[in-house]
Amino acid sequence: MKGRNGKEYRIYQVDSFTRKKFAGNPAGVVLDADGLSEAQMQAIARELNNSETAFVLAPEADDHDVRVRFFTPTTEVPSCGHATIAAHYVRAVEYALPSSRVKQKTGIGILPVEVVKVEHNYSIHMTQGPVEFCKVLDSAELTDVLAALGLTSADLDNRGPVQIVSTGHGKVLVPLKSRNKLDSLQPDFPALRQLSQKLGCNGYFPFTLDSNESGILTFSRMFAPAIGIAEDPVTGNGNGPLAAYLIRYKMVDYDGNRFEFKGKQGVAMGRPGVAHVSVDVEASEPTRVRVGGQAVILFKSEIVI
C-alpha cells in the first residue's frame, strides 16, 4: 500500500474499561492520522483486526479540539465508546495532559470528553449522543431475534421490552432474568446478520440485573456480526443506551436527578471489563448519558505509509 508522503504514523494497542492487560475491550489508536486516506484507515483497521480502531485527527473548526473517526475491520461507524476511551487515554498519556475537558467531533456530532488525572494515571469519561427510544420489536421480529440468540420468551425480564435504544449508535436491548442464561448464549451469527438488515440495527445487547458481585449492577454481552464483530467484550454504545432504558422502564431506584452504576461485560469471553455509567434524569426521563472507564496501553509501534 503506497501512501501519499511516506509519513510515519504512531499506532497503539489499548485495552479499554480495565487496568489489566489482556482484559477489557481492545482498540487500535492512530495518533496524528491526518494524511491518511479513508481507504488507508480502513486497511489499517482491517490489519489490526480490533472491533474498532480510532483515528485521531486535527480539528476542522474552532468549535472542537479534536476529530476522531472509527473503523471496524469492514466499515466506518459514527461513534464507539471503548475506542473513544482508548483514543483519549493515549492522548492524555502521550501529551501528559492535566485533568481537562476536550470537545470531540465524531460522526454523531461534537460532544465533551472528560480527562481525569488520578495520581500518575487517567480515566476517561465521554458524554454520549441524544437518547433515542426507537423500535420496540413486534411479535414476529421478537420471535426471530430470540431464535437467533438461542432464547425463549420465558428467558426475558418482562419489566422492559426488547427495543432498539440509541445514544448515538443504536443497539437491540434484550433484558434477561438470569446471568447463567446470559453467559451460556451461543448465537446464530448468520441469522443475526440477516436480521440486522431488516431491523436497521447491527448490535444486539442482552443484559441482566442478576448480579451477586458487589458494586456491579448489570452484566451484559454484545453481538454485531453485521459489522464484522461476532462479540464485543465491553461496549460503551451498549451500556449507554442501557442506562437510559433502566430509567425509562423504572427497573432501578435512584435519588435526585442522576443515576450511576457499574456494568460488567466480557466475562464469557475471558476479557472482563467495567463501564462506569451515569445518566441525568428530568421528570423521570433520561436526558443525558455519560460512559467512562480506565485503560492500559498494551504496546505502541510505528508504520510508514
φ/ψ of 13, rounded to 5, equals -105, 125
Which pLDDT tens digits describe the chain residue by residue (305 residues)? 444 558 999 999 999 999 999 999 999 999 999 999 999 999 999 999 999 999 999 999 999 999 999 999 999 999 999 999 999 999 999 999 999 999 999 999 999 999 999 999 999 999 999 999 999 999 999 999 999 999 999 999 999 999 999 998 899 999 999 999 999 999 999 999 999 999 999 999 999 999 999 999 999 999 999 988 999 999 999 999 999 999 999 999 998 899 999 999 999 999 999 999 999 999 999 999 999 999 999 999 999 99
Whole-model pTM: value is 0.91
Q: Tell me the C-alpha distance between 1 and 303, whole Å.
A: 11
Output DSSP code: residue 137. P
Cell of 169: 449508535
Known catalytic residues? 52
Cell of 17: 474499561
Q: Tell me the C-alpha distance between 73 and 75, whole Å.
A: 6
Say what the pLDDT of residue 139 is: 98
DSSP secondary structure of 151-164 = --GGGB-TTS--EE
- Amino acid (1-letter code) at residue 273: G
223 touches 150 (CB < 8 A):
no
Say what the pLDDT of residue 169 is: 87
Say what the pLDDT of residue 2 is: 45
The total of other beta-carbon atoms located within 10 Å of residue 21's CB is 13
